[in-house]
């Protein structure tokens, strides 16, 4: 079956193209080769279900990733479906050919560094981004199949001949190029596996061959020593009764074995793949800790589980956040069939949802998420709308049926909700009736609640407090007049007030110290007013040096307050805005 062939198209070499354009992140070849191994196992399992392959009773499917820092190699081993000679020809040789042809056709004039994996079935060939030479050793599950050895040194030629692989499955060996030795570093390799492969659906094991060899040597040495001790012990036993000691040494052996049993580096059934009814709160919290390494408990979560009209599963957590808006930092990881695609793709997840933490798995999402392609993708828009809808439903549902918790979490979730309302009209429509405000009594009210309660007194003004201490004098006056104000203390509230005023033109927000309505004033005698105005005008004109200063005298009801300073809402907002844009008032 020895065969040689050429991978070139029109005598051009595809490898420089692959190296140059395929990926900006070179580490992705690990994802591609491990996921090929998983695919190979999944295919075999399907055949077993269909009765076309008979599984051994103790069948243990797995993918192994081995590094050898001495040899500078990386090896991917699976015991999946394997490939026959014809299949290697078709899936490896031909695909590279046709894939590259299509690639050349589309990209010949464009120097694009967009990720194009998947489109051209070049997943396997991503190995050449980091390797000078790649070999495949494979044996198909099919009865009577011959093992195949394939190799290619990154030029335009490949070699294919009968191999010597005795067990079913595939071994792919990469001989790393000088620029890519980092990938046979254990720390680096584990880091990449953790990023891309944490939830792949087949058990993955990591082996450092160098370490393994060392261990084997040590074990051999140890067992040689033990034999000596054993002989000595036996000598001793023959003199005394040593049954107990024998028992002890057996236990030690068992323990050692358990410690050496390798653990898969991934979870093959991540929590989002389970039905929400089968998941406990503790499982949700544990998953959150595992994935986000955040030891503050999440407030609550949404488990997304949808089959129609598209397939999407995932869990979104509302993290406990600090009151300072700046410190909110979420993370949403996207997956395609448990294969990691990317973090925080704001084309798929609306920006304000990126304040949450979670995993979203959608098999219809392309593995090669190129951001520009996603922007105009109708499907992506649908996903994004669906997620928005689900989040809004969860929140509004909670407000309606579990008001106690909604209020308890409000301070934590309100920045997120307000941000969402400002950014997303659809989200705003769904959430606007569920925005609540803490009032002076410490109760939570909606805007209509507040206005209704003070119908006569407020005249559609909404009084708000931003600083309880600094504004305490005004708070007391409000209490005396049996008037209420709401707390708006978060940084985002400045913008949110404007948002609310735009959507409720009849309502005006006034900071508690900005203007005094008639409720606070007492009628004043005409003569007294005239006299006071003249007197004060003179004083204030002198003090300020402004000749045309207009002074207006009003009498407060509150006898304890001799005078008040107010800054009009508009003036204050203007200066706040200038401050926000870095324009100082004093200049």
Q: Is 303 helix (H, G, I), strand (E, B) or coil?
A: strand
Contact between 154 and 131 under an 8 Å Cβ cutoff? The reply is: yes
| Single residue of 22, 83, 193, 200 touching ligand ADP by CB under 6 A | 83
User: Which residues lie across from 340 on neighbouring strands?
Assistant: 335
Which of 83/328 has CB closer to ligand ADP? Answer: 83
CA gap 303, 328 in Å, rounded? 21
**Residue 147 within binding range of ligand ADP, rule CB under 6 A:** no
Q: Which run of H or of E encompasses 538?
A: helix 526-544
Q: How far is the CB of 54 from ligand ADP (least distance, A)?
A: 19
CA gap 234, 421 in Å, rounded? 79
CA gap 100, 94 in Å, rounded? 10
* Binder of residue 272, out of ligand ADP, Mg ion, none (CB less than 5 to 8 A by kind): none
Edge-to-edge strands, sheet with 331-336: 300-306, 312-318, 357-361, 331-336, 339-343
**Residue 163 within binding range of ligand ADP, rule CB under 6 A:** no
**Residue 115 within binding range of Mg ion, rule CB under 5 A:** no
Q: How far is the CB of 337 from ligand ADP (least distance, A)?
A: 12
Tell me phi and psi for residue 347, to 5 degrees: -75, -25
Q: Which residue is nearest to ligand ADP (CB)?
A: 123
**Residue 336 within binding range of Mg ion, rule CB under 5 A:** no
* Binder of residue 361, out of Mg ion, ligand ADP, none (CB less than 5 to 8 A by kind): none
Contact between 130 and 26 under an 8 Å Cβ cutoff? The reply is: yes
Q: Copy the structure tokens of residue 189.
A: 């390799």
Specify the stretch interacting with ligand ADP by CB under 6 A; choose among 75-83, 314-322, 324-332, 386-394: 75-83
Specify the stretch interacting with Mg ion by CB under 5 A; choose among 100-108, 120-128, 242-250, 341-349: 120-128
Q: How far is the CB of 136 from ligand ADP (least distance, A)?
A: 8
**Residue 81 within binding range of ligand ADP, rule CB under 6 A:** yes
Count Cβ atoms within 10 A of the Cβ of residue 471 and give its class: 0-12 exposed, 13-18 middle, 19 or more buried. Answer: middle
Tell me phi and psi for residue 147, to 5 degrees: -70, 150
CA gap 179, 471 in Å, rounded? 63
* Binder of residue 347, out of ligand ADP, Mg ion, none (CB less than 5 to 8 A by kind): none
Q: How far is the CB of 78 from ligand ADP (least distance, A)?
A: 5
**Residue 124 within binding range of ligand ADP, rule CB under 6 A:** yes
**Residue 123 within binding range of ligand ADP, rule CB under 6 A:** yes
In eight-state DSSP terms, residue 546 is -
Q: How far is the CB of 75 from ligand ADP (least distance, A)?
A: 12
**Cis before 46? omega within 30:** no
| Single residue of 80, 123, 314, 454 touching Mg ion by CB under 5 A | 123
Edge-to-edge strands, sheet with 486-487: 486-487, 461-465, 508-511
**Residue 298 within binding range of ligand ADP, rule CB under 6 A:** no
**Residue 36 within binding range of ligand ADP, rule CB under 6 A:** yes
**Residue 122 within binding range of ligand ADP, rule CB under 6 A:** yes
* Binder of residue 316, out of ligand ADP, Mg ion, none (CB less than 5 to 8 A by kind): none
The string of DSSP codes covering 265-294 is: SS-SS-GGGS-GGG--HHHHHHHHHHHH--
**Residue 392 within binding range of ligand ADP, rule CB under 6 A:** no
CB atoms within 10 A of CB 504: 16
| Single residue of 36, 73, 180, 388 touching Mg ion by CB under 5 A | 36
- What Å distances lie between residue 314 and 179, 276, 332, 354, CA to CA? 37, 10, 10, 14
Which of 171/176 has CB closer to ligand ADP? Answer: 171
> Which residues have a Cβ under 8 Å from the Cβ of 549 and sit 6 or more positions away?
537, 540, 541
**Residue 129 within binding range of ligand ADP, rule CB under 6 A:** no
Query: What mask of x and - would describe binding to ligand ADP in positions 164 to 203, judged by CB under 6 A?
Result: ------x---------------------------------
* Binder of residue 264, out of ligand ADP, Mg ion, none (CB less than 5 to 8 A by kind): none
**Residue 95 within binding range of ligand ADP, rule CB under 6 A:** yes
Tell me phi and psi for residue 576, to 5 degrees: -65, -40
* Binder of residue 18, out of Mg ion, ligand ADP, none (CB less than 5 to 8 A by kind): none
Report the interface residues with ligand ADP, using CB under 6 A.
32, 36-37, 39-40, 78, 80-81, 83, 91-92, 95, 118, 121-124, 170
Report the interface residues with Mg ion, using CB under 5 A.
36, 123
């Amino acid at each position: 079956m020895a065969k040689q062939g050429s991978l070139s198209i029109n005598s051009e070499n595809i490898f420089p193209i692959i190296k140059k354009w395929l990926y900006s992140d070179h580490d992705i070849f690990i994802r591609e080769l491990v996921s090929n191994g998983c695919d190979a196992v999944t295919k075999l399992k399907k055949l077993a279900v269909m009765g076309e392959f008979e599984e051994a009773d103790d069948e243990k499917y797995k993918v192994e990733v081995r590094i050898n820092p001495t040899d500078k190699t990386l090896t991917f081993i699976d015991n999946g479906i394997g490939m026959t000679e014809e299949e290697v020809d078709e899936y490896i040789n031909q695909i590279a050919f046709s894939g590259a042809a299509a690639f050349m056709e589309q990209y010949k004039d464009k120097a694009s560094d967009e990720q194009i994996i998947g489109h051209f079935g070049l997943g396997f060939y991503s190995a050449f981004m980091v390797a000078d030479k790649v070999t495949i050793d494979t044996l198909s599950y099919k009865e009577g199949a011959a093992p195949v050895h394939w190799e290619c040194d990154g030029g335009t030629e490949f070699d294919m001949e009968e191999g010597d692989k005795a067990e079913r499955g595939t071994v792919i060996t990469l001989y790393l190029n000088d620029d890519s030795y980092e990938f046979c570093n254990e720390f680096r390799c584990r880091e990449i596996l953790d990023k891309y492969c944490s939830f792949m659906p087949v058990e993955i094991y990591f082996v450092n061959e160098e370490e393994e060899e060392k261990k084997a040597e040590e074990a051999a040495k140890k067992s040689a020593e033990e034999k000596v001790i054993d002989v000595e012990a036996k000598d001793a036993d023959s003199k005394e009764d040593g049954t107990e000691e024998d028992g002890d040494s057996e236990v030690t052996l068992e323990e050692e074995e358990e410690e050496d049993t390798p653990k898969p580096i991934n979870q093959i059934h991540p929590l989002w793949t389970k039905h929400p009814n089968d998941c406990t709160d503790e499982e949700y919290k544990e998953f959150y800790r595992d994935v986000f390494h955040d030891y503050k408990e999440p407030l609550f979560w949404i488990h997304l589980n949808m089959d129609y009209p598209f397939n999407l599963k995932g869990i979104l957590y509302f993290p406990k956040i600090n009151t300072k808006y700046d410190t909110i930092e979420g993370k949403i990881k996207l997956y395609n069939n448990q294969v990691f695609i990317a973090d925080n793709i704001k084309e798929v997840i609306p920006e304000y949802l990126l304040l949450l933490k979670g995993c979203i798995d959608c098999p219809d999402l392309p593995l090669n998420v190129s951001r520009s392609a996603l922007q105009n993708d109708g499907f992506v828009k649908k996903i994004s709308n669906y997620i928005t809808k689900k989040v809004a439903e969860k929140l509004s549902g909670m407000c309606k049926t579990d008001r106690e918790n909604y209020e308890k979490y409000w301070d934590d979730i309100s920045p997120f909700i307000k941000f969402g309302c400002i950014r997303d009209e659809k989200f705003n429509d769904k959430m606007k009736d569920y925005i609540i405000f803490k009032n002076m009594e410490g109760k939570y009210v909606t805007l209509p609640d507040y206005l209704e309660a003070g119908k006569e007194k407020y005249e559609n003004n909404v009084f708000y407090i931003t600083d309880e201490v600094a504004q305490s004098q005004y708070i007391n006056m409000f209490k005396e007049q049996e008037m209420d104000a709401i707390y708006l203390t978060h940084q985002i509230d400045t913008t949110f007030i404007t948002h609310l005023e735009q959507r409720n033109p009849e309502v005006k927000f006034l900071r508690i110290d900005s203007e005094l309505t008639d409720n606070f004033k007492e009628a004043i005698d005409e003569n007294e007013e005239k006299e006071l105005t003249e007197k004060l005008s003179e004083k204030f004109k002198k003090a300020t040096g402004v000749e045309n200063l207009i002074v207006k005298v009003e009498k407060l009801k509150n006898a304890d307050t001799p005078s008040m300073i107010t800054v009009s809402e508009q003036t204050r907002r203007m200066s706040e805005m200038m401050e926000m844009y870095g324009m100082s008032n004093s200049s």
